[in-house]
Structure 1
């Protein structure tokens, strides 16, 4: 049914220009009295610094030491948002420090950012605070600080424990060192520990993959994100192995880890006890407050992207009242939930979005007949085959919406 597989949710949606209403001023949005009657929101904090660039990465980051004032700029940005009653009355359910590598920041910079968040914003009782990190940047003193400040989830960029694979990906340290750091963090016992796994990279064997899975299982990690290597012009690694190998390795992961007690939380994530509130809230259309250079998000229908250039970002913090964004049509949230359903492994519930319902029914019949989906009650759940092709299915269905 499909010949080319999309591997990322970024490729899974149709053109979004139809949802644009035009420029908007952030201050006008924040001063709206009715802006607080919403579901719990999330916060994304971007730290665009790395001590080493991975060969597979094309994210918004740079190879440099963090600017000495970067933590202060983020704290100032937090206080700027917190000065508005509408933001003070919002309730946040999750914070995600992403990058780049957030743990390149000094321990005390990270501490004061976390404290400023808790001082200026309201959080749900069991709010999730996630730190994305590499093994080499996650020092024992930083782990102790995160425990003191209430961080309760880590997403660790391991990618593979196989030393040759780590060399290809330009990772720091050996697979043994990565394993021991994860074990230390897991034994600390105060946070959910998840890791990233890349598979189908050049010359990786099924045996190499199975060894990675065995280590994840032995560590009893809360979950792991699984990414088939994507060939991108901006990256330095050789091309991934072909579609046949990609599919074989995916099914090995799915079947092996389900036998070990893991389940799919979304198309590229399997979990044992990781609820990953940040991404699940976003799948349900929650607002996301963007903090830091290069951070993107949306509040009350205003989509924003902070400047990635540090000087421009500093200026945008100092001149906070001049910040602008792009107003989105209310239907945009419906499209986010539509995509979110698919990322969670289900066909979208809101079938009213399809321009031609009969055409959708025809595709649904094919998906059922070829076992991409199965019906469970009133919902259609993706099978392993459907999850493998999930982003491709998402793109096909999104193209059919109004």
Structure 2
């Protein structure tokens, strides 16, 4: 499977937990960026002429900071330069404070099939701690607006493990999300990402994350509530109603190929992984000048590929396909994996199921520990 990711680098402001590359929206910078993005897309036209992209994901940043007209130019470039499968999954991210009826009309025209709404919390106090630019009311209104516009596949992102977050606040947030009945819910534990304000505050001692036990309780509660509501956990942090798992994300966890365009975007093609320069003005200037924009690159050898497959596959409910692993990475690698996993199976963190090695419920809770022990 081949996927396309487009990075829109603009936001109203930087959320305190965010480590992704973004910058404050400027009309003139956006116009130049869109022109440069079209040039980058055109540069790939011949390379992918004979291949179909089965998923498209426009993320950021905040794509809906762009006006419908500006975003339409981005989507036109996608259509013009990249062959899309007839059943392509087409996702776009949106923030509640910037999603408009005009955006939703554009999405309908362009064949967008999936909306990912960055809610994060239904607690006003926690939204302020996270530095989110929207209110609880805007989140509910944006979801309703999308439904009224005909969006039948909507995902909501939530965060737990927030400093100061109480269990009742988390349960209320999950409950409010379930009341809206989205097709997909992502529940991520807060992490201290490189480049985020939270990481700086933590290093200075002014921010303290909840302890592991509190975070584990919140994870167990969301798994239980979503399971009872009919959502299937198909990856550590992702839950969907039957038939609504995100194909774009699944392709990433299966080590499928993806092309990323835009500043800071990563690509993985064949055994090569590379990243575009993470500065929108430099990105734009280089493309206009006909200069290169790749600033990081690595070739993946067979050992690294095998390790990546294990790390990614174990995050999913389907786990590691042992037969595929042996065929792709060799009998010796398979033997080592089975030996290293024996003690983890004995301690109830892994189990063998229909030719697959999968995490147990307890294993999902301790997935980082499982991976650490597998690679010892």
Cα shift at 1:77 = 1.4
Residue in 2 aligned with 1:172?
Answer: 133
Structure 1 residue ranges without an equivalent (≥5): 1-39
Q: 2: CA distance between counterparts of 1:150 and 1:253?
A: 32
Q: Please tell me the root mean square deviation across aligned C-alpha atoms, in Å.
A: 2.4
State the partner residue of 1:380.
357
1:183-332 paired onto structure 2 within 5 Å: 183-231=144-192, 234-236=196-198, 238-272=207-241, 273-318=243-288, 322=292, 326=297, 328-329=299-300, 331=302, 332=304
**Greater RCO structure (CA 8 Å; 6+ sep):** 1
Q: Aligned pairs, how many?
A: 358
Aligned to 2:314, the other structure's residue is in SS state: helix
1-structure distance, mates of 2:260, 2:333: 36
2:316 to 341, 344, 359: 344
Contact 1:195–1:224 at 8 Å: present in 2 too? yes
CA contact (8 A) 2:95 2:117 kept: yes
5+ residue gaps, structure 2:
202-206
Q: CA deviation digits over 1:332-376, x for unaligned, max 9?
A: 544443333112132463255697767644542332233222332
Is the 1:131–1:155 contact (alpha carbons within 8 Å) kept by the matching residues of 2? yes
- CA spacing shift, 1:216–1:178, aligned 2, 3 Å: same
Query: In the superposition, relative to structure 1, how do residues 265 and 54 fare at CA in structure 2: closer, same or farther (>3 Å)?
Result: same
2:185 and 2:239 in contact (8 A); partners too: yes
CA drift at 1:197: 0.7
- Equivalent-residue separation in structure 2 for 1:77 and 1:311 (angstroms): 14
- Cross-structure match for 1:21: none
Query: C-alpha displacement at 1:182, in angstroms?
Result: 1.3
Partners of 1:41 and 1:92 within 8 A in 2 = yes
Structure 1 residue 250: Cα displacement: 0.7
Output the CA distance in 2 between the equivalents of 1:336 and 1:363.
Answer: 16
CA contact (8 A) 1:231 1:239 kept: no
1:213 alignment partner, SS class: helix
Q: TM-score, normalised by structure 1?
A: 0.82
Tell me: CA distance 1:348–1:195, structure 2 relative to 1, closer, same or farther (3 Å): same
Q: Distance in 1 between matches of 2:264 and 2:211?
A: 33
What is the TM-score when the length of structure 2 is the normalising length?
0.87
- SS of structure 2 residue aligned to 1:261: coil
Note if contact 1:283-1:336 (Cα within 8 Å) is conserved in structure 2: no
| Shift of residue 72, structure 1, vs aligned partner | 1.6
